[in-house]
Amino acid sequence: MRKCLVIGAGLAGATAARLLADRGEKVHVIEKREHPGGNCYDEKTNAGVTVHKYGPHIFHTNMTDVWQFCQRFSRFNLYQHRVLSYVDGQLLPFPINRDTVCRLFGVEMGIRDVESFLADEVARSSYREPPENFKDAVISQVGTYLYDKFFHNYTRKQWSADPETLSAEIAGRIPIRSNRDDRYFTDLYQGLPEHGYTAMIESMLDHPSITIEFNTDYFLARSEFDKPGKYDLKVYTGELDKFFDEAYGRLEYRSVKFEFRTVDQEVFQPAAVVNYPNDYDFTRITEFKHMTMEKSKKTELCLEYPSAQGIPSYVVLNQENIGKRQAYLDHVNDLEEQGKALFVGRLAEYRYYNMDQVIASVMNKLK
């Protein structure tokens, strides 16, 4: 039986802890916050609506093994995510689909007409092929006009950077459709845990071989946790550069300031999320009851203001950071090959992961 230290009780840490415990390992989890769940943490308000305290999280995956793992710890509702984007005074379906194009241009088109229209838009636009950055990647799919309407200003707000400096990898998350499918995701499995992400992660951590310490910062007591022979394996889920004392330079992360509002009406907006690419300082408004499917006479909103300060939420994939990431990951690979440590999750791997990709990464590294 190995003694394992898991640093972080978010989705990555909880997944690793449970998989290790299921194998008979002794696992100690430390978490610097006062609660489990990491950025997936949610809680129910006095209005009876569950809010995601670090922004909306919608689970979706095509990986059956990941879905089955999650099903061990929670039933999921049947929510399928839909997003609208406020453009030119209209709430238009996003990602861009047939209805988006027809309503924006005030014409009716069939699927083939939309495909031809988008192809013409792309043909009259300038971009590099293969795409070298986020802007190139989006324009290569929808053309300059739609890029300017839906993506350019939103991206500048989200990242506080010129879209031409961001990796094309980020645009890989954005589908474009010529049909009327208005779902944000088309994965086989979708939904939210019926009792919330916090309850699901607490269930993951509920095992006789797992112990947990909250309000415990690894870096404030590192010498104690790193004592020779104390742990056979460390699983790290925090910021990649911080673990190595920024030896190869500081990596950038984006945070978000969340403004929560309780509104005395049953429904505020027609979809769970409305993006505001061109108006206002916030990027989007989330109305949680659409996705949690809870009933209440009041509703809960969350407005998001991207920031460079605060709890890291997103990695900034530009050329400089990707270069630094590789230097860190070379060191990580050495530690992992020695069996001394595992680095898992969005921050520790410095990747723009979805939740299912986080779980899959942990599963893969613990094979």
- Above 90 in pLDDT, residue 363? yes
Residue 175, pLDDT score: 84
Alpha-carbon gap, residue 2 to 98, rounded angstroms: 55
Residues 70-77 have a mean pLDDT of 99
Across the chain, what does the average pLDDT equal?
A: 97
Enter the tokens of residue 19: 């998989």
Residue 173, pLDDT score: 67
**Percent residues over pLDDT 70 in the chain:** 100
Residues 291-298 have a mean pLDDT of 98
- CATH superfamily placement of domain 3-80+189-252+315-365: NAD(P)-binding Rossmann-like Domain (3.40.50.720)
Q: 80-113, pLDDT tens digit by residue? A: 999 999 999 999 999 999 999 999 999 999 999 9
Residue 224, pLDDT score: 98
Residue 174, pLDDT score: 76
Q: Which residue do the tokens 């069996």 mark?
A: 339
- In order of 12, 39, 203, 218, 242, the CA distances from 254 in angstroms are 19, 13, 29, 22, 15
Alpha-carbon gap, residue 125 to 141, rounded angstroms: 10
Least confident of 53-62, 145-154, 164-173, 250-259: 164-173
Interacting residues of 86 by C-beta distance below 8 A, sequence separation 6+: 92, 274, 275, 276, 277, 278, 279
What amino acid occupies position 258? F
Q: 34-43, pLDDT tens digit by residue? A: 999 999 999 9
Residue 260, pLDDT score: 99
Residue 42, pLDDT score: 99
Reported residue count of the chain is 367
Question: How would residue 304 be classed by pLDDT, with cut points 50, 70 and 90?
Answer: very high
What amino acid occupies position 325? R
Residues 291-311 have a mean pLDDT of 98
Alpha-carbon gap, residue 99 to 79, rounded angstroms: 21
**Could you tell me where the beta strands, DSSP code E, fall in 54-116?**
59-61, 83-87, 90-94
Residues 41-67 have a mean pLDDT of 98
Instruction: Identify the helix (H) or strand (E) that includes residue 56.
Output: none
Q: Exposed, middle or buried, 27 (CB in 10 Å: 0-12/13-18/19+)?
A: buried
DSSP state of 251: P
**Percent residues over pLDDT 90 in the chain:** 98
Q: Exposed, middle or buried, 267 (CB in 10 Å: 0-12/13-18/19+)?
A: exposed
Question: How would residue 266 be classed by pLDDT, with cut points 50, 70 and 90?
Answer: very high
Residue 172, pLDDT score: 77
Q: pTM for this structure?
A: 0.96
Q: 148-192, pLDDT tens digit by residue? A: 999 999 999 999 999 999 999 988 767 899 999 999 999 999 999
DSSP state of 269: S
The residue ranges of every structural domain in the chain are: 3-80+189-252+315-365, 94-173, 253-307
